Structure 1
Amino acid sequence: MTGSEESPSFRLAYVPGVTPAKWVRIWNERLPDVPLTLVQVPAAQVPEALRAGEADAAFVRLPVDRTYFSAIPLYTETTVVVVPKDHLITAAEEVTLADLSEEVLFHPLDDVFEWDSPPGEPAFERPATTPDAIELVAANVGLLVVPQSLARLYHRKDLAYRPVTDAPQSSVALSWPEAATTDLVEDFIGIVRGRTVNSTRGRAKAPAEQDQGRPEPKGTKQKPAAKSTGRNPRARAAGAKQAPKQAPKRGKPRRRS
């Protein structure tokens, strides 16, 4: 390698609420010579980061532009409403949007949901970020509907949350520019999909690996040689058929004169 060549590295972006630790751990075990750099990016800014080459792949919230990006859906989150700890809603195990119709609900500018018709009473203003909205909920000014991971990320002791059964849901996916599907991207896809370390899907096999995977042609296997005992097989067979020798008979004792 010349001094002008850069060492390989992998940059992984992720939106708030996603925890990539388990995939990063597997990456470090399998590719210890390729450093992985994590970059947290607001959900709305991830497409720009990928287009600009600031990350090789990213954990995003769907939808994405499928004309430019590839995406592998991973899971869908439960939607919850964040409330003050002493709110009446905490008496229920789960609620519906109808239960929130008379509540003031915040819709921050970075809201991950695309509401057809925002539920609840409109707040006096839209907070700039979800953390700002959390602060307002703690001040007992209104409530907030978010994916459960964000409720956990911004958890406070004076707040609680309950599932909203009929609210929109947020799905998380691994995404990357389709035209930039590099070998390292394929490696990370394999990790996310749960492929074993021996899987070569998406990567070219080395010649030695190809030879190892080929079946041996018929007729080339040699049978193990029989062990030699130093005796003729016919003699061994004849000896096996011989009757066992009988003990000699004892004579009658002589009389003394």
Structure 2
Amino acid sequence: MTLFPEFSGRIMCTGMALYGTDRISPLEAYRAGHEFFSEMSVGITTAGYTRYIEVAGERDVELVEVPFDELKSLIESGVATDFRIYNNSGGHVPWLASFGYNTPSFGGFFSIDAQLDVQLADNAGKLTDCIKRIATSLHASYGIAYEAPKMTSAFYYAAGTNLAKLKPYENPSAFGKEVPGGSYGAARYQESMLRMVYPINVINDRHLNIVVGGVPLKEWIVAEDSRGSLQPIGNDLWLWLVPEAAVDSINQLCGEAGILISWKPQAVQRAGRKLP
């Protein structure tokens, strides 16, 4: 299913994803979506829910747009499970902001994703507070926030589809193979590995025991100020904030330690042979 056409314009926008959300209900996610829009000071223009349809004798998936208030009734009645809330005003392509709740019901996996048409640095404080509250209240197991060049990239990146990647040292297909669902991935990002390292990371107690350089990740992070800050946020979750200037070097260190799902070593540029 393609929710929207690819957009060729360059937009620096922010993406967020929460994983391991199988313990929450669609109604709880609906409330979290409302909180996201309120916290980010963006109005909700409409919503939609996912359903199966028959097209030329074959089963397909479509997103049915409904008013935001009506979506709540559809969730409560059991008609809607997977859904998306968004603001599509002002000519933004495909939207100004979006919040989606995903389950395996339509070929996906348990996750929450959100996108906002602003640079991460412009709203880092608000987004950090928001992801902390939502992750802890919904008992997510892992969360990330990142900046992408455009909305579609931020959207696809959260799900690990369309070969979306943020860094040149990232394997764009690795995470998609790791998620549960059609590929029957091991979902190691929930406890024994990280997808990558981002400016904002929500990790759990099990992640802190991952070994980096011979020591647990928790000890490794706090050993040097350049590795960012680590703070408990409740429900066995921790917030790891990494300075933007240190993201690349920390990814390299963690990637070489073998704890990143999507990291790949960069090809070494060989010097050309000199002619005699």
TM-score of the pair, normalised by structure 1 = 0.21
TM-score of the pair, normalised by structure 2 = 0.20
For the pair shown, the structure with the greater C-alpha radius of gyration is: 1
* Higher RCO structure (Cα 8 Å, ≥6 apart): 1
